[in-house]
Chains A and B, each alone.
Chain A
């Protein structure tokens, strides 16, 4: 039976060492090359290497492909690849009722059942897998051994190639030719010809094996031949896109990129990505702690670099005092907070939107900063770039919120070259002021503070975390001056609204119902909106990327709809914030606090 679908979700699950991430990525790339939209999400175990075959060691990778737009990695899977019983057990709740389970019969032995804490020898019955779910048993391990018996490879290396056999089967099952996969493997293993050869052989054998099985099911997804668009795209994860956005901003601003960071899940990839980029002149200091991360960055900013610190929630808390210093000293700074489950150590590998209020308000004193939130893995690039641009042009710290879901998830990114990007003009000094050298001078429009970089003759000044005199820039404890400076700092940040685009509403702008979200829920909320509109229930969506200040038309949009429902992955932080900013707003809330992404159906059922 050929099953024609507009989209398809495949979930690859196995031991940490089974190569599920690579397999899933390849499948996604192959589909992207065929013209499909893609969205992927890895589901890593918290353990680095749990014992083989155990429940704690299962690593997953979900791929959602579609002929139209795909906004999320998908709620539930059409196909589950289970490399062992543990992978089956931990993933049954992700299955659609008419899905297919491909499993490795060689790893479904009594010993494996025991490791996965099954009490019987029939895991499928024990898990009460519905009859409607089709089982596809394949001896992946023994077929791989057979395929590579003449390769001269050692047994361990041979067995490790079984993921390619699975990929071959999946390619046949989903009607994609393996030519495209071969192309990607050639690139990946170009320096290891023997590994490449082995992978290609196993992949091909897997595909042929499946075609000889005379399966009674095959999924057919339209591959839109919209290839006449000459848009260049690449699959990219959010953390990598963030790193690239920062690199691009440094080039555009003609500033050296400086990163002061301390390793923390799930933000570490950003500093690692940038540590590689010494060739592009990026300086990465792995600081002794989170505080030093931001403080080295503040020092570098004072000295004229584009300064960045990257972290997650616990690190944000540690950096709060120093954010205050950057606000007081009016230095440009980008702070990337890749949110995770909290408070405290919380759920380091899971995703939440619970640092929002900390980002907006979590400091001593009246301490306004610009807050942005990226909403797709790909637009982490845009908002990292924008964060740097606003910081440098408005002499202010900017907090960029992303989260674990964006950081590790991938989507297609329309690649940017430097020429595609707007200029960045850092606030400098008023040369006319030479001789009277006044560090209190500001740009009259933006109120950005003119700033001399050390090394500039005639502009020596003292910066500080103490309150400054509004006229001279020297220490002041005058009460009226303090009030004036508080107002000036607040006004400077709120004027950023004049330099950012207006907000746009997605879906049906004339609907009565407006959904509101921020950051990484964009995909799910777009999918909900699209679905409701298709079902004849007019719905609009306002997905915020600019949090503080709000865009100029946000108030007007929010007050225009009969029913406004704020959906967020916390207990209501965005709703609280919006109520504080806009009087007379009546908001309903949909909140989820399981540190898991939304599911489309659960939102619809609550509306």
Chain B
């Protein structure tokens, strides 16, 4: 299968230069690499720019209502666990109006692949601040700057006991594809936060790390089992100083590569995952890649395991058996 197999015949209507174009291509590539046929793949979405995505994929798709994608996807996956179910959502759709469904999907650990397009703005309604807009952000609905604290998606995911969290940038196609493939292979609710640029209403939202010149200095690409190294020549790294992360330079103060933390995405304890996911510039690099990937039983498997157990032990095998449990009066 190739990327072409997953392209629908619909004209892609994202604005020219929108980061969503890149994510669409990355998803088509990822789906081809995953290798699950189009008819066994379902893409659900809510409302927003990101939620147009199902129309551009030649799979089963359902562009639903604002914020409810996670609930609808939960229904699809529970009804038919054989399907590979994706949810396309944005920072408004997922974290504002759909926040409740999002955290409960994570709590249940249902096997969904969620792409959370974070552009820190409401694009489709033309430029209001979102739950991820930084404090003080000026937008049409916050002309004097917001006074609200933003959500940090990773924190929310882990607070809801999420088992998979990855972060990627729209301009970094290979990492995006890799995160999506790993999200799909993860059994449980997988969240890939895609940092995307909105050229019209929030241009440069992620330019601090998207900037090609600076990116290697300002981001840390995490890989399970590998040292947490970053910088142009991979000369910088992370160590633990007490309970805090600290940036060090190899060769300074006797630091060698062996002193640098090794990323363990599979450890159940999320303490370090949170710390990594919440790193911000200028003191720290922003973590990209798969930050957390932990195995836990999935909701739908537990549902059907329990159903099987009950079926084996119950005396009621048919509807008529059920009727016969009533006190029949003749």
Binding site for B on A (CB under 8 A): 29, 32-33, 184, 187, 227, 230-236, 244, 247-248, 251, 256, 258, 260, 277-281, 283, 285, 287-289, 291-292, 295-305, 307, 321-322, 324-325, 329, 412, 415-418, 452-466, 474-475
In the complex, B104 has a CB within 8 A of chain A: yes
Binding site for A on B (CB under 8 A): 8, 10, 37-40, 42, 44, 54-55, 58-65, 68, 71-80, 82-83, 100-101, 104, 303, 306-307, 310-311, 314, 316-320, 322-323, 326-330
Contact B327–A232 (Cβ < 8 Å)? no
Cβ 8 A contact of B71, one of A279, A299, A302, A460: A299
Contact B328–A232 (Cβ < 8 Å)? yes
Report the minimum CB–CB distance from A437 to chain B (whole Å): 10
Interface centre among A285, A417, A454 (most CB of B within 10 A): A454
| Alpha-carbon separation in the docked complex, A289 to B55 (Å) | 28
Which residue from chain A places its CB closest to the CB of B309 in the assembled complex? Answer: A278
Interface centre among A230, A260, A297, A462 (most CB of B within 10 A): A462
Contact A280–B319 (Cβ < 8 Å)? yes
| Alpha-carbon separation in the docked complex, A232 to B325 (Å) | 13
Contact B307–A227 (Cβ < 8 Å)? no
Contact A244–B10 (Cβ < 8 Å)? no
Report the minimum CB–CB distance from A418 to chain B (whole Å): 5
Contact B100–A279 (Cβ < 8 Å)? no
Interface centre among A184, A299, A456 (most CB of B within 10 A): A299
Contact B306–A298 (Cβ < 8 Å)? no
| Alpha-carbon separation in the docked complex, A338 to B267 (Å) | 47
Chain A contacts of B101 at CB under 8 A? 288, 291-292, 295
Cβ 8 A contact of A247, one of B82, B100, B319: B319
Contact B62–A464 (Cβ < 8 Å)? yes
| Alpha-carbon separation in the docked complex, A465 to B82 (Å) | 25
Contact B330–A227 (Cβ < 8 Å)? yes
Interchain Cβ contacts under 8 Å between A and B, 12 examples = A279-B311, A285-B75, A287-B104, A298-B75, A299-B75, A418-B320, A456-B39, A460-B39, A462-B54, A462-B62, A463-B62, A465-B63
Q: A418-B319, A418-B320, A466-B63 are in contact. Are A458 and B39 (CB under 8 A)?
A: yes
Report the minimum CB–CB distance from B271 to chain A (whole Å): 27
Report the minimum CB–CB distance from A524 to chain B (whole Å): 24
Contact A256–B79 (Cβ < 8 Å)? yes
Cβ 8 A contact of A234, one of B10, B74, B329: B329
> Which 6 A/B pairs are nearest by Cβ-Cβ distance?
A299-B75, A279-B314, A295-B71, A296-B75, A300-B79, A299-B72
Which residue from chain A places its CB closest to the CB of B101 in the assembled complex? Answer: A292
Report the minimum CB–CB distance from A286 to chain B (whole Å): 10
Contact B326–A302 (Cβ < 8 Å)? no
Which residue from chain A places its CB closest to the CB of B54 in the assembled complex? Answer: A462
Report the minimum CB–CB distance from B295 to chain A (whole Å): 23
Chain B contacts of A325 at CB under 8 A? 64-65, 68
Contact B40–A454 (Cβ < 8 Å)? yes
Contact A281–B307 (Cβ < 8 Å)? yes
Contact A329–B100 (Cβ < 8 Å)? no
Q: A303-B42, A415-B326 are in contact. Are A283 and B307 (CB under 8 A)?
A: yes
Cβ 8 A contact of B323, one of A230, A416, A456: A416
| Alpha-carbon separation in the docked complex, A412 to B63 (Å) | 46
Which residue from chain A places its CB closest to the CB of B10 in the assembled complex? Answer: A474
Cβ 8 A contact of B79, one of A278, A295, A303, A412: A303
Chain A contacts of B58 at CB under 8 A? 460
Contact B65–A288 (Cβ < 8 Å)? no
Contact A463–B317 (Cβ < 8 Å)? no
Interface centre among B39, B58, B60, B307 (most CB of A within 10 A): B60
Chain A contacts of B306 at CB under 8 A? 278
Report the minimum CB–CB distance from A565 to chain B (whole Å): 36
Which residue from chain B places its CB closest to the CB of A419 in the assembled complex? Answer: B320
A sample of 17 more A-B contacts (CB under 8 A), given A251-B319, A295-B71, A299-B62, is A29-B329, A33-B329, A278-B307, A280-B316, A295-B72, A298-B72, A298-B75, A300-B76, A304-B80, A324-B65, A325-B64, A329-B62, A415-B323, A418-B318, A454-B39, A455-B40, A464-B63
| Alpha-carbon separation in the docked complex, A460 to B55 (Å) | 11
Which residue from chain A places its CB closest to the CB of B326 in the assembled complex? Answer: A234
| Alpha-carbon separation in the docked complex, A233 to B42 (Å) | 46
Which residue from chain B places its CB closest to the CB of A252 in the assembled complex? Answer: B319
Contact A279–B76 (Cβ < 8 Å)? no
| Alpha-carbon separation in the docked complex, A299 to B300 (Å) | 14
| Alpha-carbon separation in the docked complex, A321 to B65 (Å) | 8
| Alpha-carbon separation in the docked complex, A456 to B62 (Å) | 15
Q: A236-B326, A322-B65, A415-B326 are in contact. Are A454 and B42 (CB under 8 A)?
A: yes
Contact A462–B55 (Cβ < 8 Å)? yes
Which residue from chain A places its CB closest to the CB of B44 in the assembled complex? Answer: A299
Cβ 8 A contact of B100, one of A292, A297, A417: A292
Interface centre among A287, A302, A452 (most CB of B within 10 A): A302
Chain A contacts of B74 at CB under 8 A? 285, 292, 296, 299
Q: A329-B62, A475-B55 are in contact. Are A457 and B327 (CB under 8 A)?
A: no
Chain B contacts of A452 at CB under 8 A? 60
Interface centre among A235, A285, A452, A457 (most CB of B within 10 A): A285
Contact A231–B330 (Cβ < 8 Å)? yes
| Alpha-carbon separation in the docked complex, A551 to B101 (Å) | 40
Q: A299-B73, A417-B320 are in contact. Are A233 and B328 (CB under 8 A)?
A: yes
Chain B contacts of A247 at CB under 8 A? 319, 322
Contact A283–B60 (Cβ < 8 Å)? no
Which residue from chain B places its CB closest to the CB of A418 in the assembled complex? Answer: B319
Which residue from chain A places its CB closest to the CB of B42 in the assembled complex? Answer: A454
Q: A292-B104, A296-B71, A460-B58 are in contact. Are A233 and B329 (CB under 8 A)?
A: yes
